[in-house]
């Protein structure tokens, strides 16, 4: 699974002009399931995201996690993280998981993050969404976790 994690002061996702998910300080997490990803990966990725130390401590260093700060997460599916731009000018997405698997692993990830103790808002898998955010820092961290083997 791939994720792009952005530290935010606020973020929201809209579908057809309606806000379906919104958070204050925390993380915007764009998530993509890849071909070959299994049901164990969402929990592993959620544990890493919840503990990722990218929030400022009292000395201004990135030393605190989402769990330490009590921040929330806005989780949005984003198959374009699977983009292959190695040939031509049009990205290919053949390494992304099929939609059924992608939806299942996206939901598993959001639930696993909740199980870590994080307040989670979500977008809607497969929908045309408009995401707004105020990136804090800016801090943007790409993450990837693969199946063992």
Residue 39 class from Cβ within 10 Å (0-12 exposed, 13-18 middle, 19+ buried)? Answer: exposed
HSE toward the beta carbon, residue 8, CA cutoff 13 A: 22
CA distance 132 to 12: 5
**Given 6, 9, 35, 79, the catalytic residue:** 79
Active site residue 6: no
Structure tokens at 29: 């997490």
CA distance 111 to 75: 10
**Given 78, 108, 122, 125, the catalytic residue:** 78
Q: Active-site positions? A: 78-80
């Amino acid at each position: 699974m791939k994720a792009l994690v952005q530290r935010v002061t606020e973020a929201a996702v809209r579908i057809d002009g309606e806000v379906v998910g919104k958070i204050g300080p925390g993380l915007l997490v764009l998530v993509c399931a890849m071909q070959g990803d299994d049901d164990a990966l969402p929990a592993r990725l959620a544990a890493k995201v919840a503990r990722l130390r990218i929030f400022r401590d009292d000395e201004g260093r990135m030393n605190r996690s989402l769990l330490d700060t009590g921040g929330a997460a806005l989780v949005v599916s984003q198959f374009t993280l699977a983009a292959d731009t190695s040939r031509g000018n049009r990205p290919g997405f053949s390494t992304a998981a099929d939609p059924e698997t992608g939806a299942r692993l996206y939901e598993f990830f959001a639930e696993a993050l909740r199980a870590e103790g994080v307040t989670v808002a979500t977008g809607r898998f497969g929908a045309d969404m408009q995401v707004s955010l105020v990136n804090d820092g800016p801090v943007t961290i790409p993450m990837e976790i693969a199946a063992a083997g």
